[in-house]
Copies of this chain bind each other. A is one copy, B any other.
Amino acid sequence: MQTPDIHVLAAGTALPGPALDNAALAARFGLNLAWRQWVDTFIGTDTRHLSIDLETGAQRYTLADLGEQAAERALAAAGLEPEDIDLVVMGTSSPDQLMPATANVIADRLGIDGVSIYQLQSGCTGAVQSLDIAERLLSTGRHRTALVLGGDVSAKHYSVQIDVTKMDPGQMVNGVLFGDGAGACVLSAEPRPGSPVLRHVRVRAVGLGRLPGQVVDYSGMAGPRGDQPLVVEDYKAIEESVPRMAAEMLHEVLGELAWKQDEVDYLLPPQLSGRMTALIAERLALPGAEEITCVRETGNTGNALPFFQLEMLLPRLKDGQRAVGVAIESSKWIKAGFALEAV
């Protein structure tokens, strides 16, 4: 069955407030130089942007705020109006509310109406999950132009009132690892001059019999259970598994496209942290591929990250060039990949 090529017309992103560096976090939470050295060595994230006020913990930016801004930028870069969009797909692990879906709120603010809008509950592979569904729905010909979104405001899962100096390192990691942000891109069955083709998207859940590597809980009327954190990660399992899973997905995508390793011009590796991304990129080792990475500046923005990478990639990608992106989600162990080609 012949399906039309789906093109990436443009990408846009949004970050809340100013960049917060490790010195600012250390000053706010009374952490010493040893802590800053630990962050530099073991996390490798220099700055992040947070949706909350660091002093009070109050939420200053919602996911809808950030998603709206990212979508506006992507639409403007694509030269499209909201009425050109006939499909919206968004991924997030931190919706503003359980109902209505944040994607519908963003669509309302943008003036998009009367179309199919889908919001995925997803983690670090959510952007690729959203690309997958949008690409498939466009390829059936029922839709023409999709706005694909991803974003997270993970900071709201944390309390700024906690004495960070007494946290165990496993918990403390979360406070420096994650950043908030949103991203968007426009996919279309109608090409523009220079718009690359989304050649392949692959999402594969591989968590059979494995405990989750990341759990994010929420509370109903009962409220949180005492001091129990809402976010728990198994960093040992993540460090062990993610580089291997990333390599598997990269080779799966290359194999399915029959692309050779030296035919990839740009690599968009998973963006867990500065240190993990460096380890993963080393493992993936594509000769001649330039790495597109932003995690040292943005922190791990979850569902937003591949859009930041796309925004960096698109102006660089020249005719005939190829790019492969990989994202790994540790929640219940999901590997995802995608490939672009400028034609």
Say yes or no: A205 contacts B136, CB within 8 Å.
no
Least CB distance from A110 to B in Å reads 10
Q: Is A42 located at the chain interface by the 8 A CB criterion?
A: no
Is the beta-carbon distance between A100 and B215 smaller than 8 angstroms? yes
Binary interface encoding of chain A residues 181-195 relative to chain B, with 1 for a CB under 8 A from any of its CBs, else 0: 000000000000000
Q: Are the C-beta atoms of A221 and B216 separated by less than 8 Å?
A: no
Which of B93, B107, B156 is A99 in contact with, Cβ under 8 Å? B93
A80 interfacial contact with B, CB 8 Å:
no
Segment touching B, from A19-27, A138-146, A267-275, A283-291: A138-146
Selected contact of A1 from candidates B3, B94, B111, B204, CB within 8 Å: B3
For residue A132, CB closer than 8 A to chain B, the reply is yes
Cβ of A1 and Cβ of B218 under 8 Å apart? no
Bound complex: CA of A115 vs CA of B203, how far in Å? 7
Q: Bound complex: CA of A233 vs CA of B221, how far in Å?
A: 17
Query: Cβ of A97: which chain B residues have Cβ within 8 Å of it?
Result: 215-218
Say yes or no: A113-B224 contact (C-beta < 8 A), given A104-B334, A133-B118, A140-B140. Answer: no
Q: Which of B120, B212, B219 contacts A100 (CB 8 A)?
A: B212
In the complex, per-residue mask of A209-246: 1 if CB is within 8 Å of any chain B CB, else 0 = 11010111111111110000110000000000000000
| CB-contact partner of A219 in B2, B122, B224, under 8 A | B224
- Flag A74-107 by CB within 8 Å of B: 1 or 0 each: 0000000000000010000111011111001101
- Against B, the Cβ 8 Å flags (1 = close, 0 = not) of A107-125 are 1100111111111111100
Residue contact B215 to A218, C-beta cutoff 8 Å: no
Q: A332 contacts the other chain (Cβ, under 8 Å)?
A: yes
Indicate whether A62 reaches chain B with its CB closer than 8 angstroms.
no
Using Cβ atoms and an 8 Å threshold, which residues of chain B touch A223?
A: 219, 223-224
Nearest-CB residue, chain B, relative to A4: B1
| In the bound complex, CA of A114 to CA of B94 (Å) | 25
Task: Give Cα A105–Cα B229 distance, bound, in whole angstroms.
Answer: 21
Query: Smallest distance from the beta carbon of A167 to chain B beta carbons, Å?
Result: 13
A100-B212, A140-B3, A219-B224 known; A207+B57 contact, CB < 8 A: no
**Candidates B94, B107, B112, B119; contact of A120 at CB < 8 Å:** B119
Quick one: which of A95, A132, A208, A224 has the most chain B CB within 10 A?
Answer: A208
User: Is A172 positioned at the interface, with any CB of B under 8 Å from its CB?
Assistant: no
> 15 A-B Cβ contacts within 8 A?
A1-B1, A3-B140, A99-B212, A99-B214, A100-B332, A105-B332, A107-B205, A108-B208, A108-B209, A108-B332, A113-B206, A114-B208, A136-B137, A219-B220, A219-B224
The 6 closest A-B pairs by CB, nearest first: A223-B223, A100-B332, A113-B208, A104-B332, A100-B331, A99-B216
